[in-house]
Amino acid sequence: MEAEAGDGPVRFRAPPAGVLRIVPLDELTAIYHRASGQTHLVAPPVPEILAALAQAPASLEELLARLGACYDLADPDAEALGARVAELVGLGLVQRG
């Protein structure tokens, strides 16, 4: 279930261009967050989530639809996606609002 924020569902967005340096490394991806100076090693679907949010801000439902349009999701799970996006918000890799 998606939280509501005033006028509708909470929306998420990727940081502005240039804030993240994303480098694929075989099966993992290194993400350098310039604002914090931290480097994160992540696995799918994190790079895919960031790419989908770079298109435009999205609610969890919109994000799930974008991912489903680009990838064959065996079991689309909005709750699992919400948990992953919350982790990315906590790391500063995704912004709320």
- pLDDT values of the chain reduced to their tens digit, one per residue, 97 residues: 444 556 789 999 999 989 999 999 999 999 999 999 999 999 999 999 999 999 999 999 999 999 999 888 878 888 999 999 999 999 999 999 8
Question: What pLDDT sits at residue 43?
Answer: 96
Asked if 60 and 81 touch (Cβ cutoff 8 Å), the reply is yes
Query: For residues 47 and 29, what is the distance between their CA atoms, to the nearest angstrom?
Result: 7
Structure tokens at 54: 């770079």
Buried/exposed code over 7-40 (b: 16+ C-beta within 10 A; e: otherwise): eeebbbebbeeeebebeeeeeebebebeeeeeeb
CA distance 87 to 96: 12
